[in-house]
Amino acid sequence: MAVDNKTVIDMAHLARIAVSEDDIPKIASQMGKVLEIAEKMAAVDTDHLEPMAHPLDAAQPLRVDDVTEADLREAFQAVAPSVDKGLYLVPKVIE
């Protein structure tokens, strides 16, 4: 299936990935080839089939709502690009 440049721009925005304008036609062509493989699925009748999300059809286990983890904020924030007083810093989002 053909993927146009606009679709690439939309998907790159949805995925929050900056792509260079020069790369867009190549990405469009490669995405098109991948989706071509996916389209072979359409020919198969799957009306009677339940979608399979877990290979063993296991249900999501639940646990008691107890605190089980220690506070590792400092360790986790040691690898953050920018932190201050325990907070992750990003560019200003509210004027």
Partner 1 sequence: MGSRCGVDPTTIRQALMHQKTLTELAIGLEKGEFSSVELTQHYLDRATAHASLNSFITVTPDLAISQATAADARRASGDAGPLTGLPLAHKDLFCTEGVRTSCGSKMLDNFISPFDATVVSKLGEAGMVTVGKANMDEFAMGSSNENSFYGAVQNPWATDRVPGGSSGGSAAMVAARLVPAATATDTGGSIRQPASFCGVTGIKPTYGRVSRYGMVAYASSLDQGGVIAATAEDCAMVLGAMSGHDAKDSTSIDRPVEDYRKVLGADIAGLRVGIPKEYFGEGLSNAVGERVLAAAKELEALGAVLVDVSLPNTELAISSYYVVAPAEASSNLSRFDGVRYGHRCEDPKDLEDLYKRSRGEGLGKEVQRRIMVGAYVLSAGYYDAYYLKAQKLRRLIAQDFTQAFEQCDLIVGPVAPTTAFKIGELSDDPVAMYLADVYTLSTNLAGLPGISMPVGLADGLPVGAQLLGPHFSEARLLNVAHQFQQQTDWHQKIPAAFA
- The binding site for partner 1 (CB under 8 A) comprises 3, 7-8, 11-12, 14-19, 27, 30-31, 33-42, 44, 46, 49-56, 58, 60-61, 63, 72, 75-76, 78-82, 88, 90-93
Distance of closest approach, residue 40 Cβ to partner 1, in angstroms: 5
Element (H, E) at 88: strand 87-88
Distance of closest approach, residue 61 Cβ to partner 1, in angstroms: 6
The tokens of 79 are what? 């690898």
Closer to partner 1 by CB, 44 or 67: give it.
44
* Distances in whole angstroms, Cα of residue 50 to Cα of each of 11, 43, 55, 58, 70: 28, 17, 12, 14, 40
Q: Is 8 exposed, middle or buried (0-12, 13-18, 19+ CB in 10 A)?
A: buried
Distance of closest approach, residue 52 Cβ to partner 1, in angstroms: 4
